[in-house]
């Protein structure tokens, strides 16, 4: 089968090679999926740049999410059958014509969801759902700030916050993306490339008031400012550090320090919480939680609550162009690759 191997960290143009490798075999509890579409995630960009510590050693087949059909089933799998059309979270290995994964990370796709759309559901929508529904439990009227709202996870968070009737503040880095945020129903879109989001939000809600929940995958000073914006009872969910991308060592160290230092006594005194999320660790340590989130996400998509935005569908062999597109912040919603 064909697979796209990351052979060298650095620029997208020289990082990948399409290789012929052996088709994987499903072990106990696993299924083999014939991949039609696979997705890109920002973590792939971090892995390609050598900044992702969970990534496998080179040459590595990246890829967290695939959609296609079940091709073979390992022992002890009773929930799926050969021929089922499915979406799945892969623990790497998604950039390939066939991928194996644990059955708990696989969901059957209803007829009203196509494969490309389903590709967005496993990593990006599950992360958003786990963060917003399980870790935070949004309520009607909550003031919610979603950083980098026009991205894959950002879009999912906005759609969930809208479903929960929250007042939504969301940031993005261009006017095109701001228009997109408005189209999703964001009440207060903010261009964080040209405006200081902390000042803008203080102006909107009034000095001395705060927001209830913040979702932040930008990191660095964005977290420090966000923490200051929280009202008592407020929670900031940290799930990424995009700010560390494309910085030299000194810049990275500065960004790490910019997050700020927080002591539990300070959290008690202020009645604020900081939550960290790593979906890979949830998938590894709590497969039933991932399965619950995935089933719920598929349901909500089938009902039209979640409507993933497909930014662009690339041919699988155009992986370098797709990586550049994501890295250069051109994407809105999900970047999908298709074998054809």
Q: Please report how close the Cβ of residue 125 comes to ligand NAP at its closest, in angstroms.
A: 10
Task: Pick between residue 115 and residue 331 the one whose CB is nearest to ligand NAP.
Answer: 331
Min dist CB 269 to ligand NAP, Å, is 28
Contacts of 71 (CB under 8 A, 6+ apart): 32, 33, 34, 82, 98
Contact between 90 and ligand NAP per CB under 6 A:
no
217 touching ligand NAP, by CB under 6 A: yes
Give the residue, chosen from 65, 212, 216, 243, that forms a contact with ligand NAP under the rule CB under 6 A.
243
Would you count residue 12 as binding ligand NAP (CB under 6 A)? Answer: no
Taking alpha carbons only, the member of 219, 273, 239 closest to residue 126 is 239
Instruction: Determine the Cα–Cα distance for residues 64 and 55; give it in Å rounded to an integer.
Output: 11
Q: Using the minimum distance from each CB to ligand NAP, give the nearer residue, 202 or 247.
A: 247
* Identity of the residue, 74 or 260, whose beta carbon is nearer to ligand NAP in the bound complex: 260
Residues with Cβ within 8 Å of residue 173, at least 6 apart in sequence:
148, 191, 192, 193, 329
> What is the distance between the alpha carbons of residues 334 and 298, in angstroms, rounded to a whole number?
16
Stretch that binds ligand NAP, among 86-94, 146-154, 252-260, 290-298 (CB under 6 A): 146-154
Nearest to 177 by CA among 147, 214, 218: 147
The CB-nearest residue to ligand NAP is 151
Nearest-10 crossing angle of helices 175-184, 152-163: 30
| Residue 123 touches ligand NAP, criterion: CB under 6 A | yes
Size of the site for ligand NAP (CB under 6 A): 28
* Separation CA 14–CA 212 (nearest Å): 44
Contacts of 220 (CB under 8 A, 6+ apart): 241, 243, 244, 254, 255, 256, 258, 259
Q: Does 42 bind ligand NAP (CB under 6 A)?
A: yes
From CA 105, how far away is CA 102, in angstroms rounded? 6
Binding mask 284-323 toward ligand NAP (x if CB under 6 A, else -) reads ----------------------------------------
**Residue 181 lies near ligand NAP (rule: CB under 6 A):** no
Instruction: Give the nearest distance from C-beta 251 to ligand NAP in angstroms.
Output: 10
Residue numbers at the binding site for ligand NAP (CB under 6 A): 41-43, 123-124, 127, 148, 150-154, 172-173, 177, 217-218, 239-240, 242-243, 245, 277-279, 326, 329, 331
């Amino acid at each position: 089968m064909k697979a796209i191997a990351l052979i060298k960290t650095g620029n997208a143009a020289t990082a990948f090679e399409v290789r012929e490798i052996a088709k994987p075999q499903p072990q106990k509890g696993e299924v083999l999926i014939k991949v039609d579409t696979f997705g890109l995630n920002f973590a792939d960009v971090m892995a390609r740049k050598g900044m992702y510590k969970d990534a496998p050693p080179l040459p590595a087949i990246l890829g967290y999410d695939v959609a296609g059909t079940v091709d073979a089933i390992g022992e002890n799998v009773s929930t799926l059958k050969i021929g089922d059309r499915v979406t799945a979270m892969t623990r790497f290995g998604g950039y390939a014509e066939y991928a194996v994964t644990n059955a708990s990370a696989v969901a059957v796709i209803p007829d009203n969801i196509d494969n490309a759309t389903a590709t967005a559901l496993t990593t990006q929508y599950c992360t958003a759902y786990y963060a917003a529904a399980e870790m935070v439990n949004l309520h009607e009227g909550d003031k919610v700030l979603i950083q980098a709202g026009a991205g894959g996870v950002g879009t999912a968070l906005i759609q969930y916050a809208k479903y929960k009737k929250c007042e939504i503040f969301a940031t993005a880095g261009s006017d095109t993306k701001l228009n997109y945020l408005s189209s999703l129903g964001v009440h207060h879109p903010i261009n964080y490339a040209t405006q200081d989001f902390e000042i803008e939000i203080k102006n909107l809600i009034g000095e001395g008031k705060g927001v209830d929940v913040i979702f932040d995958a930008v990191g660095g000073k964005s977290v420090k400012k966000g923490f200051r914006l929280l009202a008592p009872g407020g929670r900031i969910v940290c799930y990424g550090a995009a700010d560390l991308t494309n910085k030299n060592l000194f810049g990275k160290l500065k960004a790490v320090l910019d997050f700020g230092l927080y002591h539990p006594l300070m959290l008690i005194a202020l009645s604020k919480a900081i939550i960290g999320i790593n979906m890979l660790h949830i998938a590894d340590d709590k497969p039933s939680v991932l399965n619950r989130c995935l089933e719920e996400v598929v349901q909500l998509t089938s009902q039209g609550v979640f409507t993933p935005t497909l930014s662009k569908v690339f041919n699988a062999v155009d992986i370098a162009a797709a990586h550049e597109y994501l890295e250069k912040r051109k994407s809105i919603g999900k970047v999908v690759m298709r074998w054809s």
